[in-house]
Amino acid sequence: MSAEALVLPAEPPRVTETRGSNLSPAIREVVIHMERHFNEPLTLDGLAAICRLSMHRFATVFRRQMGIPPHQYLCRLRVRHAYALLRDGVTPAEAALEAGFCDQSHLSRHFRKQLGVSPGRVAAAFRPVVAS
């Protein structure tokens, strides 16, 4: 199946494109940290410490300003990166690990939930067609 036959978004949507200008400096700092370190293990406690808030208060403020919880935003960042890797020919298993997911099935769950298609279908759609 070619990329033309499979209807895919050019890239997964960015959350910060619509909300970036309305962020407080503390939440903006956390978002920048998440965007730079999405493929590393990030904890709610660690993110809350960046903006000097309790975990509960941080989660509330983040959700209010970003429109989604911190973990969901992190998963979107990871899916976005995995999508780009798949488009460039990386296997779903490699893309999962490089994007910060613990394994391919974890990537598949989030990928399918966000984009409505499996990572394998995306990889196949962008795989070059070899003429026989």
**CATH number of the domain encompassing residue 32:** 1.10.10.60
Residue 100 lies in a domain: yes
Residue 101 lies in a domain: yes
Which residues of the chain have a pLDDT value below 50? 1-5, 18
Residue 1 lies in a domain: no
Would you state the pLDDT for residue 78? 96
Residue 50 lies in a domain: yes
- The number of distinct structural domains making up the chain is 1
DSSP string, 101-130: -SSHHHHHHHHHHHHSS-HHHHHHHHSPPP
Helix (H) or strand (E) holding 3: none
pLDDT 10s digits, 25-37: 999 999 999 999 9
- Domain limits at 31? 16-126
Residue 7 lies in a domain: no
Would you state the pLDDT for residue 129? 72
Residue 25 lies in a domain: yes
Nearest to residue 64, comparing CAs of 114, 12, 18, 23?
23
Residue 2 lies in a domain: no
Residue 5 lies in a domain: no
Structure tokens that stand for 37 in this block: 């370190």
Q: Judging by beta carbons within 10 Å of its beta carbon (0-12, 13-18, 19+), is residue 103 exposed, middle or buried?
A: exposed
The reported pTM is 0.84
